Chain A
Amino acid sequence: MSRGNDNGQWTSDEMMTVAAARELGDEAVCFVGIGLPSTAANVARRMHAPNAVLIYESGCIGSRPDHLPASIGDGVLSESAVANVGVVEIFSYWLQAGRIDVGFLGAAQIDRFANINTTVIGPYDAPSVRLPGAGGAPEIAANCGEVIITLRHSRRAFVEELDFVTSLGHGTGNGCREQLGLRGQGPSAVISDLGVLRPDPATKELKLTSVHPGVSVDDVRDATGWDLQVADNYEVTPAPTFEELTVLRKLKAVS
């Protein structure tokens, strides 16, 4: 589904991907999830972050794929990597040891403190929907310096209460991660197809800090399952540039 597009020049998914790509700093060492995060990270590497190091949990370190990987273990990731290591090593020596600056994750559901559910909808023992599960996300969310999350906005995805916390964001609010002894700072941004949410520094509750062009604050509130806080000085996300769109579309075309 595409929406929030005010001019027919780009889709809301493209806006989301470009906005997510802008979050990744040059020279960041980034642990990348497959799908939207991987697309965004590879756009970033072709734009403002040529020195970003992309790490995939299949053990590929410093991958520079010329097309988007279809899976986390796509051959292009290992062929273009600086180093290939085993899965035990990637999680233990590289992620757990604190060598990763940014974790880039997708999600099925998220709550106001950016906790993530990718496990079940409904009771665990009798789920109405069985989702794929944790994969690498819990320890990516725990151990990276910061975490960027990207997912499409809807009331089914942005929920008041999660049925299952697969990966911890800011838990129950400010101080929760520190209390649990987690080393990483947790989610710093949630990028959706409608806008950008960031944790309030005092409470760690997600606040709408930016709406994408053509999207109103009410649109975002309507698609959010809790009473969404809005920053006083919220902005309109700069529209995708011609160059960003060209890079993204080229990448998609060869994949």
Chain B
Amino acid sequence: MGEFLSLREAVARYVEDGQTLALEGFTHLIPFAAGHEIIRQQRRDLTLVRMTPDLVYDQLIGAGCARKLIFGWGGNPGVGSLHRMRDAVENQFPRPLEVEEHSHAGLAERWRAGAAGLPFGVLRGYVGTSLADHTKTIASISCPFTGEELTAVPAINPDVGIIHAQQADRDGNVMYWGITGVQKECVLASCHSIVTVEEVVDELAVRTGGVVLPAWAVDAVAVVPGGAHPSYAHDYSDRDNDFYAAWDPIGRSRDAFAEWLAGVVEGES
């Protein structure tokens, strides 16, 4: 229905403790502002799904919002580790974090199956790796037509999927372009969805590579200019590479992180 809400209202209405949540966006269009609002509203026991946890999940994990992480690659791109995530995995701080680990190809198939309303996805993957030994959601399956051994992975269907897009029109139809990641699958696979947008326009222009999500396929639209910072929104902002570098010492230190967290909690949504 593409209902326009403030970000605070959208998170308060749809995000609850104990849910499975996905904030997607592949380096580009990462919904940071929404992540910060979830931290402010102190949601707990979340299962967080994301191909690349990035800083946004480092922050949610450090803030104690998560009990489980389903992911493919958990680093600070071009910089190093996600130290809040590592502290949770290695030292159970601020609380233990269960991890369910996949490859990107496997997670992509999980998203596709979720969006398609199928119980599982199929791929040629994981064979010969240790991932299959440690991740229960990786299973072998025979093709019923050829007998070929393939790998099955279960669909992902989060309670709430959250993405950031460049534009919405006044009816709540959403458009994004540039690197489009798995955001379409995330919204379609999720029971509810929240989209933060850079701006509202009278009409969505035709754009090469543009993806449109019809208003009726989205629950809430919140106008949050700069809502992807320090990631970026193609044609609106550049990636703040300096912030990604500056995050390293913040994430490394529990004290520095606590200080950052206090600033977010005090911040306005």
Contact = CB atoms under 8 A, between A and B. Distances in A.
6 contacts: A70-B78, A78-B234, A84-B178, A95-B105, A132-B75, A134-B101
A139 B128 contact: no
Q: Which of A87, A131, A142, A167 has the most CB of B within 10 A?
A: A87
B89 A127 contact: yes
B32 interface: no
Contact of B103 (A72, A129, A135): A135
Given A75-B178, A75-B239, A84-B209, A96 B73 contact: no
B227 to A, nearest CB: 17
B163 to A, nearest CB: 13
Interface in B221-269: 232, 234, 238-239, 241, 244
Contact of A34 (B72, B77, B184): B77
Interface stretch (B10-18, B129-137, B166-174): B129-137
B179 A34 contact: no
Contact of A87 (B129, B182, B238): B182
Q: Which of B52, B104, B112, B184 has the most CB of A within 10 A?
A: B104
B154 interface: no
A204 to B, nearest CB: 13
Interface in A221-244: none
B134 A124 contact: yes
A130 B86 contact: yes
Interface string A71-97: 111110110000011111001100110
Nearest to B238: A75
A192 B178 CA distance: 34
Contacts of A181: 127, 148-149
B19 interface: no
A17 interface: no
Contacts of B149: 181
A133 B101 contact: yes
B26 A96 contact: no
A87 B25 CA distance: 10
A180 interface: yes
B85 A168 contact: no
Contacts of B112: 88, 92
